[in-house]
Structure 1
Amino acid sequence: MISSFSAPFARRRGAARLAASTLVSGLVAAAGVIAAAGPAAADETTQTPGGATATMGGLKTYGAAVLHDGSGDQEISAGLFEMSVDGGGTLQTYCVDLHNPTQRDAKYHETPWSGTSLGANDDAGRIRWILQNSYPQVNDLASLATKAGIAGGLTEQDAAAGTQVAIWRYSDGADVDAVDPQAEQLADYLQKAARDTAEPEASLTLDAPAVSGHPGEPIGPVTVHTDASAVTVTPPLDAGITGVRIVGKDGKPVTTATNGTELFFDVPADAEPGSAELTVQASTTLPVGRAFTSESRSQTQILAGSSESTVSATASATWAEQGAVPALSAAKNCAKSGVDITVANQGDQAFTFELMGAEHAIPAGTTRTVTIPLQEDQPYDFTITGLQGAETRFTGLLDCQTWTAETSNLTTQTLSDPSPATVGGTTATDTNLAETGGSSATPIIAGTAIGLVVIGGAALVLAGRKENT
């Protein structure tokens, strides 16, 4: 796969990230719930709010750029990536994470800006303006060249390179220029003309992603938010056995929904304590400017164009007649440098749990959000025990800063440092390291990166510390 970064910068970022790979783990004890007869397998949940999921295909339309840094000038590739959407569809994206490598065949999911470095970037709205007013959204290259005052015209490669360079100047604060004069002139025009623009709405989400209640009563609402004309609603897989139905406000079964539709879980009054999940799916063109992130440390992307693509989202419900009835969900919160764990407890007793040395109590009949602080680039693995001993497991990676931000306040940490983010080296070899394509340097870059995995296992970890707000 081709990626848009130079060998020296790939090595720096890769070494720091590979060293910081110890999981942050938390086993949570819950009170006020019925004990299970035996240990329950954890239901693993990643912080995916819904939308499109895609696989990285590589850099498809690009030119050359030069990154200026204190260590010298580095030539890099700059342009449009392409990703294939699960279920059908194609996405075109630009990079907003210059110094982070791109992993081969990395899985990406649609993410709100708050879960990425864009959430804390005052210029994120200008990046979206660039996307809306340049290639490929503007595919009349003659018109684009005229607006930018380019006499010699633009090729697709020039347009992609110039657009990417302008984005990097805002996303990473990079001192970077396009090699081709036309591409550089386009980058300058876009940078100067960019105006603040609001974050686009998600292609498809459900609010709330987890609800709780009592059998015999409608449990919800779960509200559909989408730009699709309609979505299909799929009830729980075992609905025929449990009798759980998905209904609207009128109590009638629902198989399709539109933006704003409220869905409810209709659970039989004699149902045993348990849980169920619904899924909604649609086909739509995703809004330009949506962010895409990967849990495999692959560089963050921002959407530049979309074909008709498959999007989906899920929501769960938990129910019991008495006691604490918790429903759990999670989302990354880059503004607070952590993960928000939201607990909806519609039972008649408080739900208590301990995580990373702190005890939390969610009163009966309330919904509360607890932020778990983490360090940048920290993988995490939290397990919370809920109704009848059922375990919900949240895993992921906190990736909220660009390389420039991370290295501006480095400090040395050792294995003995305490929670919330014990950091350690690793001797594991990552066989899925980034490459730069279209260059004779590819084997050298890959070999150097693999060597750094071994070096990182024995070195002290350099990790950026951020204050928790």
Structure 2
Amino acid sequence: MFSAVHGPSARKRGALRLATAAAVSGLVAAGAIAGAGAAFADTPDQQGQGGATATIQGLEPGSFADATIIGKHGKEKDVSAGLFRMNVDGGGTLRTYCIDIHNPTQSDAKYRETPWSGTSLANNKDAGKIRWILENSYPQKNDLGQLAAAAGIKGKLNNAEAAAATQAAIWHYSDGATVKVKNDIGEKLAEWLISNAKVVEEPKASLTLDNASVAGKSGSKLGPVTVHTNGDKVAVTPSEELKAAGVKVVDKAGKVVTSAANNSQLFFDVPAGAQPGAGAVRLSTTTQVPVGRAFASDSKSQTQILAGSSDSTVNAQAKVTWAKQGAIPAVTVKKDCAKGGVDITVTNKGDEAYPVTVGGKTLGSVKPGETKTVLFPVAEDEKYDFTIAGQHFSGTLDCKTTGTATPTPSSKPSPATAGGSSTSGNTGGTGTNLAETGSSSATPMIAGAAVVLVLLGGGAVFFLRKKRTAGH
């Protein structure tokens, strides 16, 4: 249930075979890179911070309606405003609103539960008002008669109007946009939400870890890793690397643990004489994600904010590194939208200094026993991809709404908010298609795959013909 309630001929044949091989190799390599980027531990918003990962499905049927963006000089843009639906990896459903009005939605984009500090909300003094709107409107307030009465509205309010009004009010504070709901009752609700919104603090993550990367010398108990969750019971699963090295995940008393709860402390018991190595422990539970949590996508698909959650699977991961001597770094990485980059925090538990080097450039040096955070600058919308202390991190810095720099509506076919081009009289039809927003981030891969299939098909025809000729 939802809480409170997404010859020349030979040369040509040789060139064809070469192109086919190259294309296949390129596609395999691209797949390997994509796989590395998608790995749970490689995403900075997931390391320690954890939470839900989900795939966007589209606007929820019956929960969106027509609205108009009023741009500079009175220029108008019609959109469909309302609730999105996401499917959670491992099970569960989320309902979200958009907080990035001009950015297009990518079809089937993957999202991760993300702290406000890793999104455009980091620099938004009104971010807390968005959470108030979410908690005081649809679908959290699903008795629409009571909601209309609270807003002083005379007349019947339906789901589509309530959702459109809520989305319009959110855009007011997320993007500084002026959006009018075409239905009068919906517009009155939006005005009430905007005028009554109060600042509320950011909600806590569904599952997060303190000290998600630890390090130290063999023969000691390394940690603690502290678990924070609103779930009842968290499964604790050590990696194969830990098992092979004889490293045990234990509690403060040294007892092996297979589950944890809120505020549990976990340690890694590394045997004396263990060869230098590294491993991880994965934590997983089922819970409802708190309303107001942000969801971001590395594909630049519009950022979302949570309006409701079913019981959903959430995960987090902690890493451990051990050695007998030398520099022994524990590394955590986190997007920092306020500073414009990625914060790299290193704790050196060894007996030699550790240079923090990214892309061939040393950003600082961490002495034995010292913890230091250095900023790796990343431009807005720029991708980053680096490996440090044997760990790979990649992503895209997406900290600003297009509306911040460009107050007029986007010239793209449809803003990220739309569920398709707005049609006159639409009050929440049955379609769930995402906005037609031009080429998505998947387009190059799809095109590449198509080329490979064509080349492979040509190669198959060539070999079949050759075989038939040999048989005659």
Fold conserved between structures, TM > 0.5: yes
Summarize the Cα distance change of 1:372–1:438 in structure 2 as closer, same or farther, 3 Å threshold.
closer
| 2:115–2:294 CA contact under 8 A, matched in 1 | yes
| Aligned position for 2:421 | 439
Once residues 134 and 296 of structure 1 are traced to their aligned partners in structure 2, the CA distance between those partners, rounded to angstroms, is: 29
Counterpart in the other structure of 1:62: 64
Matching of residue 379 in structure 1 with residue 379 in structure 2: no
Matches within 5 A, 1:288-437: 288-355=291-358, 357-384=361-388, 386=389, 391-407=390-406, 436-437=418-419
Match of 1:52 in 2: 52
Match among 201, 204, 215 for residue 201 of structure 1: 204
Match of 1:32 in 2: none
Secondary structure of the equivalent of 1:196? coil
Give 3-state SS (helix, strand or coil) of 1:336's partner: coil
SS class of match (2:395): strand
Amino acid at match of 1:368: K
CA RMSD of aligned residues (A): 2.3
- Report the CA distance between 1:436 and its aligned residue: 5.0
SS class of match (2:42): strand
Q: How far does residue 45 in structure 1 lie from its aligned partner after superposition?
A: 1.3
Deviation for aligned residue 1:141 = 0.3
Cα drift, residue 446 of structure 1:
4.8
Amino acid paired to 1:397: T
Residue 121 of structure 2 aligns with which residue? 118
Alpha-carbon distance in structure 1 between the residues aligned to 2:282 and 2:233: 13
| Structure 2 Cα separation of the partners of residues 448 and 311 of structure 1 | 32
* Percent of residue pairs identical: 53
Distance 2:353 2:392 in 1: 21
Number of equivalences: 382
Contact 1:204 1:225 (8 Å CA) reproduced: yes
State the shift of 1:159 in Å. Answer: 0.4
TM-score, scaled relative to structure 1: 0.78
Q: Is the partner of 2:375 in helix, strand or coil? A: strand
Query: Which amino acid is 2:421 matched to?
Result: S
CA distance in 1, matches of 2:248, 2:387: 28
Of 281, 285, 309, 2:284 maps to 281
Q: Is the contact between residue 236 and residue 244 of structure 1 (CA under 8 Å) also seen in structure 2?
A: no
Going from structure 1 to structure 2, the CA distance change for 1:448 and 1:200 (only over 3 Å counts) comes to closer
Structure 1 residue 237 displacement after superposition: 2.2
Correspondence 1:446-461 to 2 at 5 A: 446=436
* Deviation readout 1:41-81 (Å, 9 max, x if unpaired): 99971112200000001111201110011261011010000
- The structure whose Rg is larger is 2
| Between 329-338 and 238-247, the greater mean CA deviation after superposition | 238-247
d(CA) in 2 for partners of 1:337 and 1:330? Answer: 14
Residues 245-284 of structure 1 aligned to structure 2 (within 5 Å): 245-284=248-287
- Shift in Å, 1:241: 2.5
Shift in alpha-carbon separation, 1:448–1:137, aligned structure 2, 3 A: closer
Contact 1:64 1:77 in 2 (8 A): yes
Deviations 1:191-222 (A, max 9, x none): 01111101000000111121101111111111
Amino acid at match of 1:375: A
Q: Deviations over 1:362-413 (max 9, x none)?
A: 11112211111111111111222x3xxxx322110001111122348xxxxx
Once the two structures are superposed, residues 278-297 of structure 1 have per-residue CA deviations (whole angstroms, 9 ceiling, x without a partner) of 01110001110000000000
Asked if structure 2 preserves the Cα contact closer than 8 Å seen for 1:104 and 1:434, the reply is no
Residue identity matched to 1:364: P
Query: What displacement does 1:447 show?
Result: 8.4
How far apart, CA to CA, are the structure 2 residues paired with 1:447 and 1:272?
52
Partner of 1:36: none
Counterparts in 2 of 1:157-168, with a 5 A limit?
157-168=160-171
- The structure with the largest strand share of the pair is 1
Give the Cα separation in 2 of the matches to 1:162 and 1:353.
48
Question: What are the superposed Cα offsets for residues 155-207 of structure 1, whole Å, 9 maximum, x if unpaired?
Answer: 00000000000000000000111111111000000001111101000000111
CA 1:59–1:192 in 2, change beyond 3 Å: closer, same or farther?
Answer: same
Paired with 1:222 and 1:338, the residues of 2 have a C-alpha distance of 26
Structure (1 or 2) with the greater helix fraction: 2
Tell me which of 219, 222, 228 is aligned to 1:219: 222
Query: Using the alignment, how far apart are the partners of 1:131 and 1:362 within structure 2?
Result: 43
SS in 2 for 1:145: helix
Contact kept? 2:109, 2:297, Cα under 8 Å: yes
Is 1:143 the counterpart of 2:127? The answer is no
SS in 1 for 2:338: helix
Q: Matches of 1:348 and 1:134 in 2, distance apart?
A: 56
Name the SS of the counterpart of 1:335 in structure 2. coil
Do structure 1's residue 234 and structure 2's residue 231 form an aligned pair?
A: no
1:156 to 150, 154, 159: 159
Which SS does the other structure have where 2:139 is aligned? coil
Task: Tell me which residue corresponds to 2:97.
Answer: 94
Is the alpha carbon distance of 1:136 and 1:359 closer, same or farther for their aligned partners in structure 2, counting shifts above 3 Å? closer
Change (3 A) 1:106 1:244: same
Give the Cα–Cα distance (whole angstroms) in 2 for the partners of residues 266 and 148 of structure 1.
Answer: 58
Shift of 1:358: 4.2
SS of the aligned residue for 1:78 comes to strand
C-alpha separation between the residues in 1 aligned to 2:262 and 2:226?
8
Separation in 2, partners of 1:448, 1:59: 18
Question: What is the CA deviation profile of residues 321-362 of structure 1, one whole-angstrom value per residue up to 9, with x for unaligned ones?
Answer: 100001222110011011011112100111013335444101
Q: Secondary structure, in 3 states, of the residue corresponding to 1:343? A: strand
SS at match of 1:254: coil
Is contact 2:342–2:375 with CA below 8 Å preserved after alignment? yes
Write the distance in 1 (CA, Å) between the matches of 2:162 and 2:323: 58
| In structure 1, C-alpha distance between the alignment counterparts of 2:288 and 2:251, rounded to whole Å | 26
Question: How far apart, in 2, do the equivalents of 1:115 and 1:219 lie?
Answer: 29
Alpha-carbon offset, residue 131 of structure 1: 0.3
